[in-house]
Structure formats: C-alpha cells, structure tokens
Amino acid sequence: MDSLREEKKLLRATYLFCLIGFFNLSIIKSTFDTGAIVIGVVICVLMGYAHFIVRRFFPDGDKYILIFACILSSIGMVMIYRLSSTSAIRQIIWFVLGIACFILIVVLLPELKKYAKFKYVFLVGTIIFVSMATFIGTEELGSKNWVKFHGMSFQPSEFGKLFLIAYLASALKDYKNFKQLIEPACVVMVTLGFMVLQKDLGSALIFFAISVTMLYISTSKLKYVVISLVLFAIGAFISYKLFGHVRLRVMIWKNPWPYKANESYQVVQSMYSIAWGGLSGTGLGLGFPKYVPVNIDDFIFSAICEEMGALMGFAIMIFYFLLFYRCMRAALFVEDKFSRLLAVGYSSMIAAQVLVIVGGVTNMIPLTGITLPLVSYGGTSMLITFMGLGILQKISEGGR
C-alpha cells in the first residue's frame, strides 16, 4: 500500500506539471488555445489509465518504470507543442501506440526464457534491419538511416537494436569459453560496419555500448572489455581516415567556433540556447529555441534548457538515471540468464542513447544525430523505447 501511495503521489505531480505546462501554452497565444488544454487532459488520462491497467492486473512488477517513462514523455510533449502543435499531435498518437505496445507486451508475452532458443531468428532480424538503410535508405541531415515506404518513414536501426539485444542475450547466456564469443563478435562488427556506411555514428556508439555492457555482464571478464575498446578505437581511427563525415564531426567537436556559420551551426546554436536559459530558464514560450535547428528532434534538450532552465535539464537526467536504475533492478531478481541479459541490454540502450545525445548537443563528444528517448519527437524511437520498457516490465513481473 505504501508503494501505491507513493506512485499516486508521483502521478499527481506529473498531472500537475502537464496541465500547468499546457495551460501556459494556451494563454501565451493571441487567442486562448483550447486545443492545448484538451491535449494536456488526454495525456493525463492516458497515463492514469496505463498505470491502472498495469497495477490492477499485474501487481507484482515495478510500476515506476512506466511512471518515469510517462514523466519524460510529458516533458517532451509539452516542449514539442510549444515548438510545433502539428508535430505534438502526431507525437501524442505515437505515445498512445507506445503505451498500447507496452501493455500488450506485459499482457500477452509468456515467460521470456522460452524465446532464448530463437537465437538465429534474432540474428536474421538484426542483419535485415541494420543493413536495410544502406541499400534502400534516404539521406537526411547527413545520415542515410531513414527508409521511406508508401509515404511513411522510419529508422530500421531502431528495430535493429531490439533484435541485436535479443540475439546477444541468447548467444551469451550459456557462455563458457572464448570460442563462444567469436560469432557474436562478428555480428557486432558487421552491425557497426553498416552504421558507419550509413554515417549513423550515434547508433554505432549505442550498439557498441550495448554490446560491451552485455559482454561484461555475461562473462565478468574485464579483459574482454579492454580488447573491445582497443578494437573499437582501431575501427574509429580507420573510419576517421577513410570517411570525410567522421573527420568533419571531430573537427567541429575540437573547435566549433571558426565554423559557426556553416558546419558547426547546429552545435553553436545549441550551446547559445542552453547558456541563454541559465538555471531557471527564460520561461515557457518566452525564449528563442526556434533558432536551434532540428529543435524537436536531436536538439530538444537544448530547447528545454533554454525555456525551462538548466535545472529542468538536470531533472531530466535524474529521471533517466532513476529509470535506468529501476530497469537494472529488474535484472537482479530474475532467475534465468537470458532474461537478465535482456534487462541489461534494454537498460543500457536507453542510458547510452541519453549520454550520446546530451553529450553531443553540449559538445562534450562529437555530435551524432539521434533522438532523446521518450522526449524527442519521433514515432520509431517512441515505439521502440516503449517496447523495450514493456519487456523490462515483464521481466520485473518475474515472467508471470
């Protein structure tokens, strides 16, 4: 009962933030925007309904996974509506689909350890999705990582993450000797190769981080991690020498200021935006986040920091840490190693993606064009993240 009381308290705070945020957006326009109020109410109802379903029918699992995901999503949707109301409506549709996928996974999936035998199915899915954009993809913002089909577009590498994690969990669950690591190592190298060819450096970093984390958890051998880091460094050096886009990203990272009108315009505007907001922000609707390119996607963190302040940026990072903690906590209480590795993989996927994009927009690492999970605008990212969280919720339920 204490847990339920704390969950409801956190949900009420989330409802309050969401309603105040959308009410603020409704009154800053020349005419009162009733659509903003409606959207705020709809989001609150969806969050409450999802929590009720999971709590009512599956009471054993960790409900904070869903709550923290809803908090981050609500922050993102408030900011997206401020920047583009049309995009916000589409994002809410993806949020509904993401919540639906989350609940369906928890309700319909049987014990996850039954899927451990489908290693080569996961392998085929991984290769198909990570290679798809190389052959039939279209280039956007310098990366060839989008596939368009009948007017719709999606990032196949996002689905590739789900399949790669499942494959690695299946391949590494029975680790006994070094020979068993040869096949997974080859699969990861092929995956990274396709990401470099697609100029999708962000996904390459995330795939590598996921793989190394799962490798260490399954083997407990630090030497394998060191070998992986050395091989990755060699591959990065070769990529730097072979590909101009890699050299460009590194050049911008080392010193963006001489190129602020051209190559490093995005990064420089992002840093200006964060600095302009200070600790408390300019106020929702009172800043100039539209000067930052791709502000609802890759650079939404900068827009949030400008209008809601660096304190909100810190809060977002804390919420991600808490989400990561609750997800990793699920791995501690599950019995079979396949489910444990799945939990580690999907947790590290979210954590790596957050660190890579926040590091990129603040110029702490070379910029990579990926989305901030649950916060940035993007249907594929929203769906994949909620699917991963649904599997983590299932794991926290003990496979029941």
User: What per-residue confidence (pLDDT) applies to 81?
Assistant: 92
pLDDT, residue 400, reads: 44
Give the per-residue pLDDT at 2: 65
Range of the domain at 225: 2-396
Element (H, E) at 143: strand 143-149
> How many domains, the chain?
1
- The pLDDT score that the predictor gives to residue 142 is 63
pLDDT score recorded for residue 255: 85
> What pLDDT was estimated at residue 397?
80
Structure confidence at residue 141 (pLDDT): 61
Block means of pLDDT (10 residues each) for the chain, 400 residues, are 79 92 88 88 91 82 89 94 90 92 86 86 93 80 72 83 93 86 91 86 88 90 90 85 81 85 85 90 87 86 93 94 91 84 92 90 82 89 92 77
pTM of the model: 0.92
